[in-house]
């Protein structure tokens, strides 16, 4: 004999699943009638009608002027408005940065654009990086860091040049790029490769590699980087780490809602 509570629970889950399917159908089609919804979900028209009525009561869907057609309602906006607070970059990146730091044994930072700087908003340290500098909260130059290059690379040229001129192209080491034309050429390779590498451009003896993090619209909103001393993270090793950094950036982007 079946368990009534199990049947009720199963039926409840099925109803939730069907309701979600209805919302996804309307999101895809723009609007649809009961017959179309029933066919897509694979239920009788009466079941589809009950689902739509329940969603309409909660303003998740509404009927268009053409009676019999339904579209997403303003109730969806109320739910969606709560999403950005949950998509905080430091929160969404933490599990990824900690894993990457453990895997590579180096410091992992997440940086965002602030004025004409890259500022590190989250940091994780691998076992080999315990004694390295704390970069959290540090403002770093855009033209001389891997994260800065990533944040610059996906900006329109005019915006990029304005930031570079505002920040200046200070020389930090003999390898620092100090010409806008040279920066532009470097950034073309960043976009082409999907990552940026800095070899002792900001500090002697410090190397780094970074990749772009995107939001749900596909806009680059942050950069994730791995940095370490040259005796552990030489140029060959940095480039060898690039796929892992790109993969971590893609995972954070997915957690931020990017579906590309």
Query: Residues 17-46: pLDDT tens digits?
Result: 898 898 888 888 888 889 998 998 999 989
Q: Is the pLDDT of residue 110 over 80?
A: yes
For the chain, state the CA radius of gyration: 25
Give me the mean pLDDT over the 98-119 stretch.
91
At 164, is the pLDDT very low, low, confident or very high (cuts 50, 70, 90)?
very high
Residue 126 reports pLDDT greater than 80: no
pLDDT at 259: 84
Measuring CA to CA, which residue among 123, 220, 228, 142 is closest to residue 186? 142
Average pLDDT value for residue range 155-179: 92
| CATH (one of 3.90.1640.30, 3.40.1350.10, 3.30.300.30, 3.30.450.40) for 84-255 | 3.30.450.40
Q: What was the pLDDT predicted at 81?
A: 56
Query: Do residues 152 and 112 touch, judged by C-beta distance below 8 A?
Result: no
What share of the chain has pLDDT > 70, as a percent? 87
What's the pLDDT tens digit per position in 36-85?
989 989 999 899 899 989 998 888 888 876 667 888 887 876 676 555 54
For 143-180, letters b (16+ CB in 10 Å) and e give bbbbbbbbbbbbbeeeebeebbeebebeebeeebbeee
> Which candidate, 111, 110, 114, places its Cα nearest to that of 93?
110
Instruction: Please state the rounded mean pLDDT for residues 164-178.
Output: 92
Pairing mode, strands 69-72 and 61-63: antiparallel
pLDDT, tens digit, 9 for 90 and up, residues 243-255: 999 999 999 999 9
- Tell me where in the chain the CATH 1.10.10.10 domain(s) lie: 4-80
State whether the Cα torsion 10-16-22-24 is positive or negative.
negative
All CATH 3.30.450.40 domain ranges of the chain, comma separated, are 84-255
- pLDDT of 130 reads 52
The answer to whether 234 and 207 have CB atoms below 8 angstroms apart is: yes
Specify the pLDDT at position 7: 37
Q: State which CATH number among 1.10.10.10, 3.40.50.720, 3.40.50.300, 3.20.20.70 fits the domain covering 4-80.
A: 1.10.10.10
Highest mean pLDDT among 30-44, 72-86, 87-101, 181-195: 181-195
- Give the per-residue SS3 of the chain: CCCHHHHHHHHHHHHHHHHHHHHHHHHHHCCEEHHHHHHHHCCCHHHHHHHHHHHHHCCCEEECCCCCEEEECCHHHHHHCCHHHHCCHHHHHHHHHHHHHHHHCCEEEEEEEECCEEEEEEEECCHHHCCCCCCCCCEEECCCCHHHHHHHHCCCHHHHHHHHHHHCCCCCCCCCCCCHHHHHHHHHHHHHHCCEEEECCCCCCEEEEEEEEECCCCCEEEEEEEEEECCCCCHHHHHHHHHHHHHHHHHHHHHCCCCC
Task: Band the pLDDT of 195: cuts 50, 70, 90.
Answer: very high
């Amino acid at each position: 004999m079946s368990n009534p509570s199990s049947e009720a629970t199963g039926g409840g889950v099925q109803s939730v699943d069907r309701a979600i399917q209805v919302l996804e159908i309307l999101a895809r089609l723009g609007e649809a009638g009961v017959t179309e919804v029933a066919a897509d979900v694979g239920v009788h028209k009466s079941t589809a009608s009950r689902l739509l009525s329940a969603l309409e009561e909660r303003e998740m869907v509404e009927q268009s002027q053409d009676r019999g057609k339904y579209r997403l309602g303003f109730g969806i906006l109320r739910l969606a408005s709560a999403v950005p607070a949950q998509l905080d970059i430091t929160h969404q990146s933490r599990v990824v940065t900690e894993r990457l730091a453990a895997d590579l044994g180096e410091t992992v930072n997440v940086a965002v654009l602030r004025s004409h700087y890259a500022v590190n908003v989250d940091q994780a340290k691998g076992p080999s990086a315990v004694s390295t500098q704390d970069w959290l909260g540090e403002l770093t130059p855009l033209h001389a860091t891997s994260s800065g290059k990533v944040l610059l690379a996906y900006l329109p040229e005019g915006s990029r040049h304005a930031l570079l001129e505002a920040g200046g192209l200070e020389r930090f080491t003999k390898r620092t790029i100090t010409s806008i034309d040279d920066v532009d050429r470097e950034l073309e390779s960043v976009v082409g490769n999907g990552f940026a590498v800095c070899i002792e451009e900001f500090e002697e003896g410090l190397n780094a590699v970074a990749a772009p993090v995107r939001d749900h619209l596909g806009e680059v909103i942050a950069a994730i980087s791995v940095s370490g001393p040259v005796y552990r993270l030489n140029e060959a090793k940095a480039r060898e780490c690039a796929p892992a950094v790109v993969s971590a950036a893609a995972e954070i982007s997915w957690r931020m809602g990017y579906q590309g």
